[in-house]
Amino acid sequence: MEENLIRDAGLSRSIQYSAAGSRRSRMALLTGATGFLGVNLLYDLLEHTSLEVRCLVRAAGESEGFGKLRHALEAHRLWRSEFASRIRPVIGDLSAPGLGLSDREFFTLGKHLDVIYHNGAQINLVLPYRALRSVNVLGTLELLRLAAIAPVRAFHHISSVAVLSLDHGETPPEIQESLSLPPANGLTSGYAKAKWVAEQLVSEAAGNGLNVSIYRPGLISGHSRTGVCNLRDSFSLTLQACLRLAVTPELSGIIYLTPVDFVSRAIVELSNSAYSGGKAFLINNPVPARWEEIMELMRARGYAHNSVPYAEWIRLLRRKAEEPSQRDLEPIAALMRDSPPDNKKVPVGRNTAEGLAEFPDVRCPDDSATLVRLYLSYLSSLD
């Protein structure tokens, strides 16, 4: 394991927190609000709480920052005019010291915050740890410094199932959810390492008195009602490529489709429950979908006319992307992997189920065929 992971994991040890008091939460800071999960978190915070939500966003000024946030909500079919009065952009940068704010701005923001939702991250499975450190690690450290000013009543950290090294060894049917993580020895991607270090910082802050909750989503799929998908995740890329080629790859095994609106609503409801303090939550659809059934559904509904082995399908995709009239396929082809998707099982986390027991309307859809049909309808409408 890289030595700087251990070094970086201890950066928050000197930050001390005092009791936040019992005042009612009125103001939240949300990072990563224009991203796929972030914009859904913004919607659910506005829809299901009374919080004013300040959103860290890179922009030339407040007008441009608000425009970016509104555009993100509109693009995901989530905008409502009554939200406008409760959204405030904070012009800054997660990768910069002090979040890109002046010392005075940083201190003033910290004095007024009641709760922080740290969702912002640079997601890249190819870049090494050092390339992701400034955003994913040092950005988390700056937010932990910010949380110590007032201090905030709660710090909600959105991490990833990638920190659990589920690729290695036999996956247990259940997993012990806690703020403590196993060693990072089994982590291979720079992204997983950076998220692991960020969690170590947050866990240290919990030991120093900060009220912390950590959320570890698995693969996040499209919205279960609007069908809006993240066009750059592995599942959506596979569906997009199939649609363009009208050919499906021969795939076997399982995939867990966890709709983004379930993930965001679960985080918001759990975060507002006394149950969540000091806990970690694995958020994943417990019912997997089968790749064979997804590919068959595409062919049955006329989106594809035949199937070929995965290696042949990848070659076909890359040849197609080289055609002058198909250059828009290049980004999809570049992001697709040479090997078929993993078929690993993801364990069930009990904290999420227990924490959501008091919210009967927050349930993960288990009809994967309906979800896939919705996603295909959305993706095919983009051409």
Q: What is the DSSP letter of 210?
A: -
d(CA 296, CA 293): 5
**Length of the chain measured in residues:** 383
Q: State residue 14's pLDDT score.
A: 87
pLDDT at 324 over 60: yes
Q: 225-238, pLDDT tens digit by residue?
A: 999 999 988 899 99
d(CA 89, CA 119): 15
pLDDT bin (cut points 50, 70, 90) of residue 22 is: low
State if pTM tops 0.85.
yes
CATH number of 3-217: 3.40.50.720
Domain ranges of the chain: 3-217, 225-256+289-344+366-380
pLDDT bin (cut points 50, 70, 90) of residue 18 is: confident
pLDDT at 155 over 90: yes
Span 269-294, average pLDDT: 93
Phi, psi values for residue 168, rounded to 5°: -115, 125
Rg (CA), the chain: 21
pLDDT bin (cut points 50, 70, 90) of residue 2 is: low
The number of C-alpha atoms within 13 Å of 283 and in the hemisphere containing its C-beta is: 33
Omega before residue 288 within 30° of 0, cis: no
Q: State residue 69's pLDDT score.
A: 98
Q: 290-309, pLDDT tens digit by residue?
A: 999 999 999 999 999 999 99
Q: State residue 160's pLDDT score.
A: 93
pLDDT bin (cut points 50, 70, 90) of residue 268 is: very high
Q: State residue 1's pLDDT score.
A: 47
Q: 26-78, pLDDT tens digit by residue?
A: 999 999 999 999 999 999 999 999 999 999 999 999 999 999 999 999 999 99
d(CA 372, CA 289): 10
d(CA 379, CA 237): 10
Span 239-244, average pLDDT: 94
Report the candidate in 231, 234, 179 with the shortest Cα–Cα distance to residue 205.
179
- The token pair at 306 is 């035949």
Q: State residue 178's pLDDT score.
A: 83
